[in-house]
Amino acid sequence: MTSRVFAAGLVAALLAGVAPLAAAEPESCASPRFSDVGWTDISATTAVAGRILTSLGYEPRIDILSVAVTYEALPRGDVDIFLGNWMPLQEPTQKPLVDAGRIDVVRANLEGALIGLAVPKAAYDAGLRTYADIAKFGDAVDHRIYGIEAGSSANATILDMIKADKFGLKDFTLVESSEQAMLAQVKRAARSEKPIVFFGWRPHPMNVNIEMDYLTEGDDVFGPDDGAARVLTNTRPGYLADCPNVGRFLSNLVFSVEAEDLMMSYILDDGMTADAAAEKWLRDNPAALDAWLDGVTTREGAPGVPAARQALGL
């Protein structure tokens, strides 16, 4: 049965003028292993990638891992793919591994991102507008800066600022928390018009759901242009050569800020799971498959776009 299915797929691929890339993949490529670090944007994009690969006959595995564990697992080959390499924030962790050939960079899967410290609009209007203003509002913000999960590069950057007394922050404390808990705290403060300083980023529904502004004049702490960022796709070393069909898909896979804002809103505002959000976005945006699956086949070697459309009910 498997031989007949593969042969049929091979003929279809040849008739369509598509090289049967999957034929060159070993069985180990059948279950691509993703790291999802639990950030809503990465959960959403990873779910999209996983759903598309499933539609092509793969059996992707997605594990929830911290950033630190992810960058230990990729060089060991325990994880194949990571869609959440925020740059330049993670450069201190990523660059030595890239330079040593211990992880590979596929491409930027998102441009136009932004990271940095932010405040509710009321605090910004009251004069908390730059990084140097934080210390001036020390009592008002309880000498606290709200970050995300322990071990993240964002928290490490904030801790370095505090330890170095940059911007006069030596008496401040970093509050480490989950993304959801941090945002709940920010929303409570914003409703009561109490100043709060927190780590923000775009894309994220927070930029729509909370009246907020990003602080400026950050002396490139979170990167040039006050935290302008992009997100890269990383793999274990040699993965694209070992699994060229999945590799072609990863080389094609790129998102927009608007698409991620929407998927993240489905999750955070509408209570969808990441998988359900991915399904909805794909149903509403089927044309994305044409570019993402250009030159990509099913596991059996058939053209990828029609197979994915059929499997996804598009």
| Residue 16 in domain | no
pLDDT in tens, 157-201: 999 999 999 999 999 999 999 988 999 999 999 999 999 999 999
Angle value at C-alpha 284, between 283 and 285, nearest 5 degrees: 95
Within this chain, do residues 240 and 170 fall inside the same structural domain, yes or no? Answer: no
Within this chain, do residues 302 and 221 fall inside the same structural domain, yes or no? Answer: no
Checking if the pLDDT of 22 tops 80, the result is no
Among 182, 204, 228, the domain boundary falls at: 228
pLDDT in tens, 53-108: 999 999 999 999 999 999 999 999 999 999 999 998 899 999 999 999 999 999 99
| pLDDT at 208 (0 to 100) | 82
Domain assignment of residue 222, given as a range: 113-228
| pLDDT at 19 (0 to 100) | 43
Q: Read off the pLDDT of each residue in 249-267 and give the average, rounded to a whole number.
A: 95
Within this chain, do residues 298 and 263 fall inside the same structural domain, yes or no? Answer: yes
| Residue 104 in domain | yes
Among 228, 263, 298, the domain boundary falls at: 228
- Residue 275 sits in a domain whose CATH number is 3.40.190.10
Within this chain, do residues 138 and 106 fall inside the same structural domain, yes or no? Answer: no
Within this chain, do residues 221 and 240 fall inside the same structural domain, yes or no? Answer: no
Within this chain, do residues 121 and 84 fall inside the same structural domain, yes or no? Answer: no
- Token pair belonging to 257: 């800020």
- Structural domain total, the chain: 2
| Residue 1 in domain | no
Within this chain, do residues 90 and 180 fall inside the same structural domain, yes or no? Answer: no
Rounded CA separation 43/258 (Å): 16
| Residue 7 in domain | no
Rounded CA separation 59/36 (Å): 16
The alpha carbon torsion through 104, 281, 203, 71 (nearest 10 deg) reads -30
Q: Is the four-CA dihedral 88, 90, 91, 97 of positive or negative sign?
A: negative
| Residue 4 in domain | no
Both ends of the chain: CA-CA distance in Å?
27
pLDDT in tens, 218-241: 988 998 888 898 999 999 999 999
| pLDDT at 24 (0 to 100) | 63
Angle value at C-alpha 41, between 22 and 180, nearest 5 degrees: 140
| Residue 170 in domain | yes
Checking if the pLDDT of 5 tops 90, the result is no
Which range in 202-206, 232-236, 259-263 is most confidently predicted, on average pLDDT? 232-236
Within this chain, do residues 244 and 105 fall inside the same structural domain, yes or no? Answer: yes
Among 175, 207, 228, the domain boundary falls at: 228
| Residue 85 in domain | yes
| Cβ atoms within 10 Å, residue 119 | 27
| Residue 206 in domain | yes
Within this chain, do residues 82 and 140 fall inside the same structural domain, yes or no? Answer: no
Checking if the pLDDT of 209 tops 90, the result is no
